[in-house]
Amino acid sequence: MTGTERGRGRRIVLWRHGQTAWNLERRFQGSTDIELTETGVAQARRAARLLAALNPDAIIASDLRRAAATAAELAALTGLEVTHDPALRETYAGQWQGLTHDEIMARFGDQYTAWKRGEPVRRG
């Protein structure tokens, strides 16, 4: 097999976790370990059914509860084990973590606006 043939058909699918209470409250989660809501679990189940049809070879997820629970739904359908990798956690967001969008804007408006523009800002 040539190098070109080996790489054909490989696909990496990035899948975001289901809804959390902090998503609903527009709170910045960062690396805070927040669980899924009932709606988040239902979202994960629905998406897992679609992703299972892709016949994945591996499932790798953050070890945060929201990501682990989302990945577990796909694992239940495929029989694959989930590899939990702390390197996939959302980044630590300092003082922004736990604050709502409005609170961040009130306290760190210039930094937040710059960050949203894609500038390298150390959050909080």
Catalytic positions: 17, 90
Q: What letter represents residue 65's amino acid?
A: R
Tokens for 40? 């988040």
Extract the tokens encoding 120: 């390298």
Burial class (CB in 10 A: 0-12, 13-18, 19+), 75: middle
Strand segments, DSSP code E, in 1-124 are 59-61, 82-84
| C-alpha distances out from residue 24 to 28, 40, 41, 67, 87, Å | 11, 11, 14, 17, 25
How far is residue 36's CA from residue 23's CA, in Å, rounded to a whole number? 10
